């Protein structure tokens, strides 16, 4: 019915050789990929961005292109250590072949609860050295804040998402160029170590807290800040100026607090002025993330 077309058989053979050649190239690329250099680069970037000492108890190479870190600790002399059980970073083969870098990152706070305490994100960079534009987006899934911010939070479960792009991963003279949005919600939050000005510390509990940031370069506007619970409710706004390391970022917030029944009973035991439930009070929060100050 059909004429004998030998060129089809020739093309099949050529296509087979091309496919086999591509497979060999990809396999060789995977086998010779500089995993050690990527491990060192990620560690260095985390150190630079957070200002903390990053230690990895053990790291291995995953398949096809991945790095797994186990028992990761971020520490600093004046901060409590932050610990993660597992960090898995999968490398995009196609981006790597094109000279860029693409990472799909999954962080588990505790391996025993794979669906709780998870941070997922995607990071893309124009070069392996992170010197050009870097973009990141991700989400937080039921993060236990008491394991991350132990110094100030004794309870709280965080969910949220973010997108962020920076033009230069290593800005000069502290100049940050880029933009991003961050949204978070915390349930059953208990904040400790709030200074009251008389040498005593106040603890406040909220059933729900929501926050949102929109960042342009180093300036971030607070688009949402509110919370409510047994100790009262609050709303606020202001700016955060990002600096490196992150704990040096500057706060300039104005928060209106409406005390609840829980706050009234705590104030009496701490020697604070009595404030009837429902009476609004405006305070300012200034200083750095590491040493924020509250002023009336």
pLDDT in tens, 48-96: 766 778 888 888 877 667 788 888 888 877 777 788 888 888 877 667 6
For 94-149, how does the pLDDT look when each residue is reduced to its tens digit (9 = 90+)? Answer: 676 666 778 888 989 887 777 789 999 998 887 766 677 889 999 999 999 888 88
The Cα angle at residue 15 between residues 13 and 20, in degrees rounded to 5? 95
The CA distance from 78 to 291, in Å, is 11
Task: Return the C-alpha torsion angle 183, 187, 190, 194, nearest 10.
Answer: 20
Neighbours of 153 (CB within 10 A): 19
Q: In the predicted model, what is the mean pLDDT of residues 254-270?
A: 82
Name which of 100-109, 164-173, 225-234 the model is least confident about. 164-173
Tell me the two tokens of residue 199: 């040498």
Predicted TM-score (pTM) of this structure: 0.76
3-class secondary-structure state, position 114: coil
The pLDDT value recorded for residue 32 is 54
Measured CA distances, 249 to 49, 193, 246 (Å): 12, 20, 6
**Strand pairing partners for 139?**
120, 161
The pLDDT value recorded for residue 20 is 47
**Tokens 């949102």 sit at which residue?**
212
Measured CA distances, 212 to 19, 64, 255 (Å): 49, 37, 14
3-class secondary-structure state, position 272: coil
């Amino acid at each position: 019915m059909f004429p004998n077309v030998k060129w089809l058989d020739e093309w099949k053979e050529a296509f087979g050789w091309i496919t086999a050649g591509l497979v060999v190239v990809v396999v060789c690329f995977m086998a010779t990929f500089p995993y050690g250099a990527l491990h060192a680069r990620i560690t260095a970037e985390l150190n630079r961005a957070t200002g903390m000492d990053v230690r990895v108890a053990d790291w291995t190479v995953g398949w096809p292109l991945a790095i797994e870190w186990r028992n990761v600790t971020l520490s600093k002399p004046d901060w409590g250590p932050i610990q993660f059980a597992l960090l898995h970073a999968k490398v995009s083969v196609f981006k790597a072949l094109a000279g860029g870098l693409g990472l799909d990152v999954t962080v588990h706070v505790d391996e025993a609860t794979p669906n709780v305490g998870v941070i997922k994100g995607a990071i893309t960079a124009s070069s392996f050295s992170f010197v050009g534009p870097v973009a990141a987006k991700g989400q937080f899934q039921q993060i236990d804040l008491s394991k991350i911010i132990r110094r100030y939070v004794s309870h709280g479960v965080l969910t949220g998402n973010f997108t962020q792009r920076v033009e230069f991963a290593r800005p000069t003279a502290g100049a940050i160029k880029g933009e991003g949005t961050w949204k978070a919600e915390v349930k059953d939050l208990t904040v400790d170590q709030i200074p009251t000005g008389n040498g005593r510390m106040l603890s406040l509990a909220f059933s729900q807290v929501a926050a949102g940031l929109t960042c342009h370069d180093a300036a971030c506007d607070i688009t949402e800040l509110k919370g409510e619970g047994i100790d009262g409710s609050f709303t606020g706004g202001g700016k955060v100026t990002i600096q490196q390391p992150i704990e040096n970022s500057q706060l300039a917030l104005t928060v209106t607090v409406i005390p609840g029944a829980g706050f009234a009973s705590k104030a009496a035991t701490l020697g604070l002025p009595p404030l009837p439930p429902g009476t609004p009070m405006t305070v300012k929060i200034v200083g750095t993330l590491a040493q924020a100050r509250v002023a009336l």
